[in-house]
Structure formats: C-alpha cells, structure tokens
Amino acid sequence: MKDSGFFKCPGSDPSAWAKPEIFLCPDCKSEVDIWTDEKKGRCPFCKTIFERPIKTADKPYYDALLKKAFELGASFVGMIPVLDIVVDDHLSGLCEHHQCSNYGSSAGCPPYVSGSDGFRRLMGAYQEALVINIELPMEIMLSHQRREIFRLLHGIVSSVEQNAVKMGYSNARGFASGGCKQLFCSDYQECRVTTKKGDCRNPDLARPSMSGYGIDVVKLLQRAGCTSECARDEKDNKISGGMACGLVMIC
Ligand code: SF4
C-alpha cells in the first residue's frame, strides 16, 4: 500500500524515541538518569527532585577558568566540544587486564566507575570540556616527584570544576589522570568510600581517573590543540614526553 504520509505510527521513528541522559544530583552528586522527554529528575539515592539543567552554548566561563587553571600551575588549557572526546573500550579494559595497581583501590577507579559505556552516556549531558595539562620532563615523570605533580593536577581540576559550579554550571565535572588512593590516601589501608565507612577524605582534591573511563588522553590533547612533546606523535599514538592531563566537562 502506498504511504499517504498521514497515517504513520508515532512510535515508528526511532530518532524520536526518548533516551536517558546523565546529570548529577545537586545534593549528593550521584549520577541520575533524566530521559529526554522529562523536565525533572529524581535522585535514586538521596531522593532529591531537581529541574533538568539547561544546556548552554555560551562560553562566559572560559576565560575565567582558563586563568584559574594557569594560575594554579597548568601548562596547557584548551576547550573542545565534548563530542570530540575519544573513548576507547580497549583503554578502559587495560586497567583490569594489565592489573594496574590502582584497580579496585578507590572510588575513582574501576570497577567502581561506570567505564567507557558510562562515560559515553555522560557525554550526552554535556557540551564542552576544558582540557588541562601539566607538561613535565620524563625524568620527573619517572621520579618520586611524579606523585606531587599528579596531586597538583587533581587540585587544579577540582578547583576549576568548583569555580565553574560557583559560576552557575552546577553539573561541572572533573576527571584527572592518576589513582586517588595512591595520590592522597597512601597512608590509609583502605578507601573510605568503597569500604562504605564514610565519605571521601579528600572531596576538594581527588577526582576520578580518566583511564577507567577509556578516555584517550593523547587524542584529547591533540584535539584541544596541545602541541607539546607529549601530544606530538599522531601516527602511532606514542607518548613521547611526560604529561599529567585532566578534564572538566561543563554544561
Ligand atoms: S577516600 Fe581516598 S582513596 Fe577513597 S575516593 Fe577519597 S581520596 Fe580516593
């Protein structure tokens, strides 16, 4: 029968189907699914009901956050559309299969983070991301000073994230390379969050590791316009210099 164009079932067009997007609960910061046809979300953990955050294409935050990151010690800051972030299942799988010493050590590392699938879903709720890098000579990368640099990175990322929140971007969310157990809680036997013994000891510093989400850090730096040694080798994706990279997603 010829399609008249008038009697189409409204459910026959998959592009019109509602889909879930992830937002952060304004109270407890847990991930909350809000479907694209819903105006409000309800946190399954603390039960807070909140309005769906409005996405904005404006960038009034950019200069202030960029300045903040440089003041605190970043050597590169760039902005990219969130859709340009490359997420690779293979990279998140390396945490487990290569038995990274950080695996299972904290709430910021696998298996306690939602991995590459979770990150792809999270990307749907954001528009832009600040990419932050601290470039460091390989000899420092391989020395005991490495820990201090990665602690600094987490501090910069969390501070930029919190500045974005103060500017009204309440769902700003930061990620940083390096496992937080090793960086901040090495004097303790356990992560307090994963053992359900309390809240994070370092909420103003520690942020989830980017590796556990499968974020391709070299491509991230390249796409953000970083021309330093560590992001140079496009061909085989080799890291030829030291780097400590972070990301703050903003919507
Ligand atoms: S308590 Fe320590 S190990 Fe656990 S999430 Fe916080 S900083 Fe990381």
Distance 191 CA to ligand 1 centre (A): 5
Angle between helix 89-97 and helix 115-123 axes, rounded to 10 deg: 150
Size of the chain in residues: 251
How far is residue 184's CA from residue 117's CA, in Å, rounded to a whole number? 27
Q: Two tokens at 117?
A: 């699938």
Which pLDDT belongs to residue 3?
46
Q: Which of 112, 151, 177, 181 to mutate to test the pocket of ligand 1 (most atoms within 8 A of CB)?
A: 181
Query: How much helix, strand and coil, in percent to the nearest 5, is found in the chain?
Result: 30, 20, 50
Mean pLDDT in the chain?
A: 85
pTM > 0.85: no
Domain boundaries, the chain: 12-51, 62-250
Q: Which of 182, 189, 190, 160 is nearest to 173 (CA)?
A: 160
- What's the pLDDT tens digit per position in 120-161? 999 989 989 999 999 988 888 888 899 999 999 999 999 999
**Choice among 6-15, 45-54, 81-90 with the minimum mean pLDDT:** 6-15
Per-residue confidence at 61, pLDDT binned at 50, 70, 90? confident
Note the pLDDT tens digit of each residue in 69-109: 999 999 999 999 998 999 999 998 888 876 788 999 999 99
Q: Indicate if ligand 1 lies below 6 Å from the C-beta of 182.
A: no
Number of H helices, E strands in the chain: 7, 8
Give 102 Cα–ligand 1 centroid separation in angstroms: 11
